[in-house]
Amino acid sequence: MQESILIIEDDADIAESLHYNFKREGFRTSIAESGEKGLRIALDEKTTPSLIILDLMLPGMSGMELCRRLRRETMTEKTPVIMLTAKAAETDKIAGLDTGADDYIVKPFSVKEVIARVRAVLRRSEKEASPKYEDARIKVDFEDIRLSCDGESVKLTRKEFALLEHLIKNLGRVATRQQLLDNVWGYSYFGDTRTLDVHIRRLRQKMAECGGSIETVVGVGYRFTGYK
């Protein structure tokens, strides 16, 4: 099935360039020059995209506001979103990821890089739908809540397994501390973020030699890399 890309971008030159290059790579594309139009296309059952390219500086509804709205809607809550923006500060990137974006690309950018990022995000999205994960050293069955490292079973608490599941289903992507707290402890959690760090430390210890698959991204959060 041909995958579709929704480009929400008010700069006509950028939108057309992306549209042309995505078509060359075999994607179906549609363009929206405003957040409101982009939302209508995204929520239309006939045009729901496989992935959304989202500019942050849009007329009317901002990219951040639109991303929050997309994550609240059942139809688009899991649709991958890649943000495009001229804002390069670390705080802006963290804000974008916390809002629910899957990736963040700073303008000016290489079209080839955007296409490569799109393919990577779509691959991750396909893996997230799988009830199992397996690489050269780690095997996880999400339905049966089982983990093994180098063939040895590893016993985890529910919270530890939930943390690992969230990290694996975001393979290669940074999960911020707030995202992990929201998804594992719930949106009503207002405790100390050190609780998360303690659980990550215990998870790594229990995974022993496989614990190195969980990287610390200083000042942001954690990332699962797995083993090839």
**Mean of the per-residue pLDDT values of the chain:** 88
pLDDT at 188 over 70: no
Q: Which CATH class is domain 4-128?
A: alpha beta
- Give the confidence band of 190 by pLDDT, cuts at 50, 70, 90: low
* Lowest mean pLDDT, pick from 15-29, 58-72, 75-89, 131-145: 75-89
Domain definitions of the chain by residue range: 4-128, 132-224
Count CB atoms within 10 A of the CB of residue 205: 9
- For range 118-126, the mean pLDDT: 81
pLDDT at 99 over 90: no
pLDDT at 94 over 90: no
CA 34, 40, 45, 46 torsion-angle sign: negative
pLDDT at 145 over 80: yes
- For range 176-189, the mean pLDDT: 76
Alpha helices in the chain (DSSP H): 12-24, 35-42, 63-72, 90-99, 111-128, 158-168, 177-180, 194-207
- Give the confidence band of 129 by pLDDT, cuts at 50, 70, 90: low
Q: Which CATH class is domain 132-224?
A: mainly alpha
CB 42 within 8 A of CB 76: yes
Decide: pTM greater than 0.75: no
